[in-house]
Amino acid sequence: MIAVRGYDGRRVAVLGLGRSGLSAARALRAGGAEAVCWDDNPAAREAAESEGFQCLDLAQPGAFDGVTSLILSPGIPHLYPAPNRVVRAAWEAGVPVDNDIGLFFRSLGAAGWDSFDMAPRVVAVTGSNGKSTTAALIHHVLAEAGRAVELAGNIGRGVLDIDPPGDGGVVVLELSSYQTDLARALTPDVAVFTNLSPDHLDRHGGMGGYFAAKRRLFAEGGPDRCIIGVDEDEGRYLANQLAEGVGDDRVIAVSVERKLTGPGWHVFARKGFLSEYRKGRQVGSIDLRAIAGLPGAHNHQNACCAYAVCRTLGLAPREIEQGFQSFGGLPHRSQIVGEKDGVRFVNDSKATNVDSAAKALKAFENVRWICGGLEKEGGLEGLLEATGSVVKAYVIGREAAGFAVQLQGVEAEVCGDMARAVRRAVEEVQPGEVILLAPAAASFDQYDSFEKRGDDFMAEVAKYL
């Protein structure tokens, strides 16, 4: 655990007692603070009380008397579509609002590293798609190379749950826009921006607010090195804003759409080959085509970002390639569930928006596509250009019929639930085809999470394997 610094003897409120909230309360207590907690879920309050935390409804009058700060869990709105009532109460009381990410950076920076030969480094990864795989891949490659490394944030453990990094240690964080938007301290050594596509727009008041939340990771903390995906205008803008001039190698540009040239530091992938260029000359390359854990152009972008980070941290191209070869991928992200009679079954339940589903479709040929769920803002029009590989779509979700109508030019069957969708796809599939779950929608109309949806898909597939 990383004990929170700077709050010794102070009273701090914690709203939301899920993984990050409860770990924040523990870390505050370890640092000498008094944590006062609240969650609307009685079971969550009971769990906190069993650990000795006081639970107090923070929306009640006087709840913020004597409180120094409010620590907010990422799932709770702090501005859009409307501020939570407790956030409003904190504003009225003049109490600063922060989150566990802000506490982490403030506390980590207060650690005494004078006796270390090499100070710990923090790598923070954000973006719309691919940040989990990128963060996990960085962690895997560093671990395979013998580096002391921990993975936390929006993946794995809460940031305050990890052990304080030791001499030369690395902490890899996946950070969502919810986390970067609110944190009062953001000071990574290396920051990664994978890409940007419409998502969570209700929480950020539109695309401008969404991008601004991501941009804070770079603008607020001034990382020593920035790895920026430049295949969208936002990434190109961000790279331009961060560079001090032509050839500034503190900014590493990443692309999977074009060869990057010029005097700077570039990492790009074309036709399955990753290339690293510095000062106009190639200095490294990796053939990504046979790496089973990184299928498709979207994973090649993840590989480019991870490669750039690991090069920044001193690894040689050969070490990175060895780590790539042994990477098994993440559950629910282009996860190959199995193969039988020439048919592959792939679980990409994490493809919850149009852009991520399009990338999943482009990674495979001859696809029997299981899709549908709670549709996000913007419709499905942006997905249609990626459906050339689709043999047939099998649509699930409560609004399956309306979803299917939007799949213009694609043969679609309304199935409703996962069991029927998998059964019908298996009945019609031919050798050489892929049965792919890539919903292009949230899961909450039928499942508690995208993980539960992916688990259901794998359970149904298991009946046929």
Distance CA(229)–CA(238), nearest Å, equals 9
CATH 3.40.1190.10 domain range(s) in the chain: 103-325
Distance CA(393)–CA(369), nearest Å, equals 5
Distance CA(182)–CA(300), nearest Å, equals 30
Q: What is the pLDDT of residue 149?
A: 97
CA distances from 207 to 22, 112, 198, 233 (A): 31, 40, 7, 12
Q: Residue 338 annotated as binding?
A: no
Q: What is the pLDDT of residue 111?
A: 58
CATH number of 103-325: 3.40.1190.10
Distance CA(318)–CA(96), nearest Å, equals 47
CATH 3.40.50.720 domain range(s) in the chain: 11-98
3-state secondary structure of 170: strand
Q: What is the pLDDT of residue 399?
A: 92
Peptide bond just before 81 cis, omega within 30 deg: yes
Distance CA(62)–CA(214), nearest Å, equals 35
Q: Residue 132 annotated as binding?
A: yes
Distance CA(69)–CA(66), nearest Å, equals 9
CA dihedral defined by 296, 302, 305, 307, rounded to 10 degrees?
-70
Distance CA(195)–CA(302), nearest Å, equals 10
CATH 3.90.190.20 domain range(s) in the chain: 335-462
Q: What is the pLDDT of residue 110?
A: 60
Q: What is the pLDDT of residue 221?
A: 77
Q: What is the pLDDT of residue 85?
A: 96
DSSP state letter for 369 = E
Query: Which residues in 8-42 are b (16+ Cβ under 10 Å) and which e?
Result: eebbbbbbbbeebbbbbbbbbbebebbbbbbbeee
Q: What is the residue whose two structure tokens read 């961000």? A: 238
Q: In this structure, are residues 38 and 56 in contact, taking their beta carbons and an 8 Å threshold?
A: yes
Q: Is 379 exposed, middle or buried (0-12, 13-18, 19+ CB in 10 A)?
A: exposed
* Residue 375 in tokens: 């549709």
Q: Residue 259 annotated as binding?
A: no
CA distances from 143 to 26, 278, 312, 375 (A): 28, 26, 15, 38
Distance CA(446)–CA(75), nearest Å, equals 19
Cα 155 vs. chain centroid, distance in angstroms?
Answer: 7
Query: Which residues in 346-364 are b (16+ Cβ under 10 Å) and which e?
Result: bbbbbbbbbbbbbbbbbbb
Q: Residue 352 annotated as binding?
A: no
pTM of the entire structure? 0.86
| Residue 163 CB neighbour total at 10 angstroms | 12
* Under-50 pLDDT residues of the chain: none
Q: In this structure, are residues 233 and 207 in contact, taking their beta carbons and an 8 Å threshold?
A: no
Q: Residue 127 annotated as binding?
A: yes
Strand order in the sheet with 335-340: 335-340, 343-347, 434-437, 367-371, 390-396, 412-416
Distance CA(130)–CA(203), nearest Å, equals 20
pLDDT in tens, 86-145: 999 999 999 999 999 999 999 986 656 777 888 899 999 999 999 999 999 999 999 999
| Residue 52 CB neighbour total at 10 angstroms | 9
Distance CA(281)–CA(247), nearest Å, equals 13
Query: Which residues in 257-290 are b (16+ Cβ under 10 Å) and which e?
Result: eeebeeebbbbbbeeeebbbbbeeeeebebebee
Distance CA(27)–CA(21), nearest Å, equals 10
Q: Residue 214 annotated as binding?
A: no
Q: Residue 130 annotated as binding?
A: yes
The class that CATH gives domain 335-462 is alpha beta
| Residue 68 CB neighbour total at 10 angstroms | 16
3-state secondary structure of 36: strand
**CATH architecture of the region 11-98:** 3-Layer(aba) Sandwich (3.40)
Q: What is the pLDDT of residue 434?
A: 97
Q: In whole numbers, what is the pLDDT of the chain averaged over residues?
A: 94
Q: In this structure, are residues 456 and 439 in contact, taking their beta carbons and an 8 Å threshold?
A: no
Query: To 5 degrees, how large is the angle CA 455–CA 130–CA 106?
Result: 105
C-alpha closest to that of 443 among 349, 358, 315: 349
